[in-house]
Amino acid sequence: MTQDSAQKSGKSPRGRAAVVGLSKAQVVEAAIRQIDEKGFAGFSLRELARTLKVSPTVIYWHVGGAKEDLFAEIAASITGALSEGLGEEPDWKTRLRAVFLRYRKLVHEHPNVAPLLGAQMKSNGVANIDWVETVLSALQDAGYKGDDLRTAFNALLGGLVGFVTMELAPPPSDKATDWEQLFAERVAQIDPQTHPLTHAALPHITNRIFVLRWQNGADISYDDGFTLLLDLLIEGLAARAPR
C-alpha cells in the first residue's frame, strides 16, 4: 500500500501499522535478521516489507523517511546497551574498556552488520548516543578537553571500531566455491627470495591477519589483537593526557 492508496482507502501508514500490530522494534529486528541471513549488501527494503506483510511506506513511517533512518535505528539497536551500569564506575579506563569490549561482543552477535556500523556514514545518527556520552565523559575525566577531546575520541573510535570492521569484513558476495582454496594456494606460494620475512612468518600469520586470509573474525579469533590494541590505546591516552 502506497501513501496515496493509503489515503484513498482512508488508512494512513500509521493506521495500517496499527492494524497489523507492527512496531518500530519489530521492523528493526526483522531488518537485522535479514542482514544476518543475507549480509549487508543483500539487504532489501522491499523484501523486508514483504516479510512483514506491509508496504515500504509503513516501514518508513516507523523509522523515518529514508533507508538511512532505518540504518540509524539498526545501529542504535546494536549499540543501545553499551553504557548500561557504567555511570557509577569511577575509573575512566575501566569505563572505556567496558564500552569497547561490549561493542565488539555485540557486533560479533551480528557480524554482517559490521560494515554498516564501522564504514557507513548512513548509520550515523542520534537514535542512541548514550555510549558517546560515556566515552566523552571518560576522556574528560582523563584530562582531555576541547580540541584534545575531539582528537582523542576520533583516535579511540577509529582504532577500535575500525578493528572490528576489518575483523568482520565480509568475503566476496559472488565468490566461486573454490575461492578460498585458490587464495590459500597463492599465499602458500609466496616467494621466500623476494619476501623473506613474510614467507618466514607464514606459519603464524596465514589466514590469521587482516591480509593473507580467506576467513574473517566470525571464524578465526582475533581476541589477542583486539586486547592489545585496547591496552595500547588506553595506556597511550593516559600517558598523553593533558596535565
Residue 96 belongs to a domain: yes
Compute the distance between CA of residue 197 and CA of residue 220 in angstroms, rounded to an integer: 23
Q: How many domains does the chain have?
A: 3
Percent of the chain past pLDDT 90, that is, above it, reads 56
Please indicate, yes or no, whether residues 119 and 227 belong to a single structural domain of this protein. yes
pLDDT band at 6 (very low <50, low <70, confident <90, very high): very low
Q: Which of 65, 90, 116 is the last residue of a domain?
A: 65
* 125 plus 236 within the same structural domain: yes
pLDDT score for 12:
52
159 and 99 both lie in a single domain: yes
Please check whether residues 17 and 130 belong to one and the same domain.
Answer: no
70 within domain boundaries: no
Do the beta carbons of residue 54 and residue 20 sit within 8 Å?
yes
Q: For residues 81 and 130, what is the distance between their CA atoms, to the nearest angstrom?
A: 9
pLDDT tens-digit series, residues 36-53? 998 888 898 899 999 998
pLDDT in tens, 174-188: 666 688 889 999 999
Distances (CA, A) of 201 to 137, 213, 224: 41, 14, 17
Over residues 57-91, the pLDDT tens digits come to 888 888 877 788 888 888 888 888 888 888 778 99
Q: What is the CATH classification number for the domain harbouring 133?
A: 1.10.357.10
How high does pLDDT run on average in the chain? 86
Confidence of residue 7 (pLDDT cuts 50, 70, 90): very low
Q: Specify whether 163 is located in the same domain as 228.
A: yes
Whether 110 is in a domain gets the answer yes
Question: What is the residue whose three cell numbers read 555510549?
Answer: 131
Q: What pTM does this model have?
A: 0.83
Res. 5 pLDDT band, cuts 50 70 90: very low
Q: What backbone torsions phi and psi does residue 23 show, to the nearest 5 degrees? A: -120, 165
Identify whether residues 53 and 158 lie together within a single domain: no
Residues 155 and 129 in one domain: yes
Based on the domain organization, do 120 and 190 belong to the same domain?
Answer: no
Question: Which string of DSSP letters, residue by residue, matches 129-157?
Answer: -HHHHHHHHHHHHHT--HHHHHHHHHHHH
Confidence at residue 80, expressed as pLDDT on a 0 to 100 scale? 84
Measuring CA to CA, which residue among 13, 14, 10 is closest to residue 2?
A: 13
DSSP code for 1: -
Write the CA distances from 234 to 155, 227, 242, integer angstroms: 11, 11, 14
CB count within 10 Å of CB 69 equals: 17
User: Are 61 and 100 part of one and the same domain?
Assistant: no
Q: Residue 95 pLDDT more than 70?
A: yes
Domain membership flag for residue 71: no
Tell me the pLDDT band of 15, cut-offs 50, 70 and 90.
very low
Which carries the bigger pLDDT value, residue 168 or residue 13?
168
Any domain includes 73:
no
Amino acid identity of residue 148, one-letter, is: D
Q: Which domain holds residue 23?
A: 3-65
